[in-house]
Amino acid sequence: MLPPAAINEGDPVTPRPSATVLLVRGRDPWQLLLMKRPGGADFAPDAYVFPGGSVHDDDRSFEDEIRAAAVRELFEEVGILLARRGKSLAREADCDRVRGLTIGGTPFGAAVRELGLTPAFD
C-alpha cells in the first residue's frame, strides 16, 4: 500500500513501456526481493517496491526491450546482474566491470555486449 503522500490526484499520465522484476529465491521458505524507495523520492517515497522502470532507448537494441529493461533496472537499482557468459551466470567481477563502464557513461546494453555477456531473460 502506498503512503498517502504518494497518491497523485493530478491529470493522468500517458503509459510508457516498463518492466517490474519479481526476483524469487529458494523454496520452503522462499524469499522475494523488495526495495525501499528513498524518503525524498518524487514518486512513492518510503514505499516498498519491486525493482523496475521504463524502457530506455538502449533497451530497444535487444530483441525483447521489456526484458532488457527489467535486467537493466535490476542492475541499476540493486546491483544484481542477470547475465550469462556462455552457459554460466555472470560473476561478481563481471558485475564490477559493467558497473565501471556504465559509471563511465557507456549504456548498459553496450557494456554487457562489450564484455561478451548476454542478458539472462529466462
Q: What is the pLDDT of residues 16-37, one digit of tens each?
A: 999 999 999 998 899 999 999 9
CA 31 to CA 90: how far, in whole Å? 21
Look at residue 6 and tell me whether its pLDDT is greater than 70: no
Backbone angles phi, psi at 44, to 5 degrees: 50, 55
Q: What is the pLDDT of residues 42-88, one digit of tens each?
A: 878 899 999 999 999 999 999 999 999 999 999 999 999 999 999 99
CATH numbers and ranges of domains, the chain:
4-119 (3.90.79.10)
Element (H, E) at 114: helix 108-114
Q: What is the pLDDT of residues 106-122, one digit of tens each?
A: 999 999 999 999 999 88
Look at residue 2 and tell me whether its pLDDT is greater than 90: no
Global pTM? 0.85
N-to-C CA span, the chain: 29
